[in-house]
Every structure is written in C-alpha cells, then in structure tokens.
Structure 1
C-alpha cells in the first residue's frame, strides 16, 4: 500500500506542475488576444507621458521618415502586419476614426516593401504607410501587433498598447488630441 501511495503521489505531481504552467500561459494568451490587457505587453513600449524618441524608417515609396515629423499633429501610430488578422479587421476603422477625430493615421507594417504594397492595395488603404524594421520597432519598444501609440501634437505619448477594437481606436484618437 505504501509503495502504491508514493507512486500515485509522484505521478499526480508530475501531471499537476505542467498543467499549472499551461494554464498560466493560456491565461496570458487570453488576455493578449481577447481582452488586450496582458500586463507584460502593455507595460512594454515607451511610457505614457514621455516624448516619443527620435527614430527613422522608410515610407512605402522609399523616402526617409522620422518620428520628429509627428510634432505639430496629433497622430495614431498603428503597428501591424499583412499576416495579422486583427490588423486587417481594424484597419478600415483606423482610417475612419482618425479622420473623424482630426488625427493623423500612421500605419507601420512589419513587412517587406513588396508585401506591404500588395497589402495596402488589397485593403484600399491610401494614408501614410511606413515599413517598420526590427531596429525601428526595437527603438520604440514594439513587439506585437496590432500595437498603437497615441501621440499628441507635442510628440508626447498619451496612450499605448494593444488595440483590437473600434472602441480602443476611439480612445487612442481622443487621447492623441489631449495635451
């Protein structure tokens, strides 16, 4: 009896520990994908209230673009990818909400120029599109998509984090106008 007890006791712990770890991973993923509130992701990025650092990237047409161009215009920077389903779902709302709130929409795609060109053509997106290189994304501490920054006219971050709904986009637009 004693041997059977210890074998079953050890077997249960061997099963319980991986299940606990799996549950923690699943809860984190649920927060990221459904609720947009994963603490680890939302704590990344430039802190709210700080000025956006100077960083450069290129436009879809190959011209150089700098974050210093954000000064003077409230903007929403949306980091996306042509392979991101959530990005494609919110892209039409992104343009519409930005225009309704008199905010400049800036779409940054983790992609090659060719793939990004095909994507914006397919999505009929005609506002400013930038290529987000890994160096540029690292400089702005962006690691996931769709991730956004609301930047006010002084270049200060007013809101940041995952964005996957129309309501969240509206909150970003309103935040970028506050100064």
Structure 2
C-alpha cells in the first residue's frame, strides 16, 4: 500500500513538472509571436462610402446650436476627424481624452468633431449635455445626428472617420486605442487605404534593402579577393 502511494506521488509530481515546463514553453512562444506581429491598425469596414471617394456635404447642427458642414471641401483647408461616441459606450469615455491629445498635436491641419445619436427625448438630451461636460469637450463641436452615422454606416463604437480638406474620405474604421487613431492619420499621409497596407509595404521594402545589402557585400568581398597581392615565397 505504501509503495503504491509512493509511486502515485512520484507520477503526480512528474506530471506537474511536465505541465509546468509546457506552460513556460507556451508562454515563451506567445512572447516571441507578440514581438513578431505588427501593430494592428483601425479595423477597416467594408460597407459605407469607400476610402478615396468624395464625401457628401451634410449641413448639421451641433449640440449648442451652431451650424456645421461636414463632408465636401473644407473652406478652412482643414481635414476633419470625426469620432463617433456615446454616453453608453465605456470604451468611448476612455478614448476621448486620447483623441483630444492626438488631434491637439495635429491642430494646424486637422479639426476634431464628436458625433453621436440617440437624443429622441429630453432625458437623452440632458444625458448628452452632462456627458460632454464630464468629458470636458464642450469646446469641441458635438453633433447628435442619426443621418451622419447612417451616411458612414456606423454600426459599432467607437468609430472614426477622417475626411481630407479636399472632401475626400481618407480613412475610417473602428478605433479602441491611440494607435488605431494614429493609423487613420498615417493612412491619410501615406495615401494608403489602411495601416495594414502600410506595414506590408514597409516590410517588403526592408526585405528588398536587405537583399541589396547582401548583394553589395558579396560583390565587395569578391573585389577584395581579386585585388589581393599574391604571396611570394622566398627560398632561404
């Protein structure tokens, strides 16, 4: 009985040690994979206006009653970054300060506009007014418009749209981090549909440069061998 218990304990410990080693190996592989995977940009939806198309000018009214035109050519020659948010979206609340910080660094060429919907009742309207005060975005245009959301087929939040000063839709997509929002601006600057395309081109360029460097190194080594002086042996 004692021998059987001892054997079972030994087997149990062997299994525990084996599983621990397996978990460590998996953790290491996950870490390596994380380092190799490129940062994900904003998820580009397949519906709504296409990137590269001229956007329709919409005459809208902000929460404070100011008239604002979104879409079409911008008279101030500014691109427009529209961030769709909602009082019922927890991620939006966290993302708003990040959006303010990001666009502040780009304010010479990009204006920030917040958009939402769901203000059919006085209670909902009051909720929106409290929402923008809590987020400290009363100085930014805040539009409550179902039409605007439908125009770009916004189905999930937070969602961002970047319209160039020429009225062309430069980029759009679901955004959850600063990196996602930066990817939309990067897409506009690089004139690429998505940051994934940008990363792909960058990786291809790096590969081509590496091949060119290898060929240059090989050619240089051959040149050195050709010009090496012959060794003359002298007899004593």
TM norm. shorter chain > 0.5: yes
Whole-Å Cα distance in 2 between the matches of residues 70 and 145 of structure 1?
Answer: 26
2:66 to 43, 63, 66: 63
Structure 2 vs 1, CA of residues 148 and 70 (structure 1 numbering), >3 Å: closer, same or farther?
farther
Q: Does 1:137 align with 2:149?
A: yes
The higher radius of gyration belongs to: 2
8 Å contact kept, 1:75–1:176: no
1:78 to 83, 89, 95: 83
Whole-Å Cα distance in 2 between the matches of residues 36 and 50 of structure 1?
Answer: 19
TM-score (norm: length of structure 1): 0.69
8 Å contact kept, 1:70–1:153: yes
Q: Does 1:159 align with 2:171?
A: yes
Alignment of 1:27-176 (within 5 A): 37=43, 42-68=45-71, 71=74, 72-102=77-107, 103-112=110-119, 113-176=125-188
Structure 2 vs 1, CA of residues 132 and 45 (structure 1 numbering), >3 Å: closer, same or farther?
farther
Query: How many equivalent residue pairs?
Result: 143
Whole-Å Cα distance in 2 between the matches of residues 82 and 152 of structure 1?
Answer: 27
Structure 2 residues not aligned, in runs of 5+: 1-39, 120-124, 192-236
SS in 1 for 2:84: strand
Whole-Å Cα distance in 2 between the matches of residues 36 and 176 of structure 1?
Answer: 13
Cα offset, 1:51, TM superposition? 1.5
More moved, 131-140 vs 151-160: 131-140
Give deviations 1:81-138, integer Å, cap 9, x for gaps: 1111111111001011011123211111224232221101011124423333222321
Structure 1 residues not aligned, in runs of 5+: 1-33
